[in-house]
Amino acid sequence: MSGKLSLTFDDGPDPVWTPRVLDVLEEVGVRATFFVVATLAERHPSLLRRASGAGHEIALHCTRHLRHDRMTASEIYADAEKGLRVLGKLGHDAGDWRTPWGVVTGGTKKAAEDLGLRLVGWTADSEDWRGEPSKVMLSRLAPGIGPGGVVLMHDGVGPGSLRDGCGETVELLAPLVSLCRSRDLEPVPLGELSGVLPDRNPGPVAGV
């Protein structure tokens, strides 16, 4: 029996890198989940329309890319609520939420509950923000590619990133999808992944 896992992208949409990520996903026939920054979504609505039209899931990352452990509960709520409003105005009804750096506090959980959002972390981290070659990232990810997995990548250059573009993430995608399929795993958007999902960053906070 084949299993499922999800490929996820944070920090977009980006006018240069998001289209290239979408191109590769289209070539390999994979739908993914994009955790978007609301201010960027507002600036590049056509990228979200393209992603959503291709069957990708639009989810919430943030309005301002800040760590929740340095925000009050009401600031966290306001940030998420504004992000949802912006996405809603653009026609996207986000149900999943990954916070900046996967930091989750009591205030985050309360805001998620109040806004009807599901918090989603990851199980396998490409650490693509480091700027390493795609082959290094593929080796890093390989042990964690299994059923129910949630793979973290970035289609934008967020704060703290050590690279100035997402070219290696674009390069990573086709080999990563091949690896998944060689293990009888099909990537699907998070909304189609059954079972319990990780709700936060599984390890020490790093990168973007």
Binding site for Zn ion (CB under 5 A): 10-11, 100, 158, 208
Cβ 40 to Zn ion, closest distance in Å? 11
Cβ 159 to Zn ion, closest distance in Å? 8
Tokens 């920054």 found at = 37
H, E, C per residue of 127-146: CHHHCCCHHHHHHHHHHHCC
- Are the beta carbons of 32 and 152 closer than 8 angstroms? no
Element (H, E) at 93: none
Cβ 132 to Zn ion, closest distance in Å? 18
**Which one, 100 or 121, has the nearer CB to Zn ion?**
100
Token digits of residue 59: 């989810």
Rounded Cα gap, residues 170 and 148, in angstroms: 23
Cβ 121 to Zn ion, closest distance in Å? 12
**Which one, 87 or 185, has the nearer CB to Zn ion?**
87
DSSP per-residue letters across 181-204: HHTTEEE--GGG--SPPP-S-SSS
What are φ and ψ of residue 124, in 5° steps?
A: -135, 125
Cβ 3 to Zn ion, closest distance in Å? 27
Rounded Cα gap, residues 48 and 92, in angstroms: 8
What residues are annotated to the active site? 10, 154
- Are the beta carbons of 180 and 186 closer than 8 angstroms? yes
**Which one, 56 or 185, has the nearer CB to Zn ion?**
56
**Which one, 102 or 180, has the nearer CB to Zn ion?**
102
**Which one, 5 or 36, has the nearer CB to Zn ion?**
36
For 18-117, strand residue ranges (E) read: 33-37, 57-62, 96-97
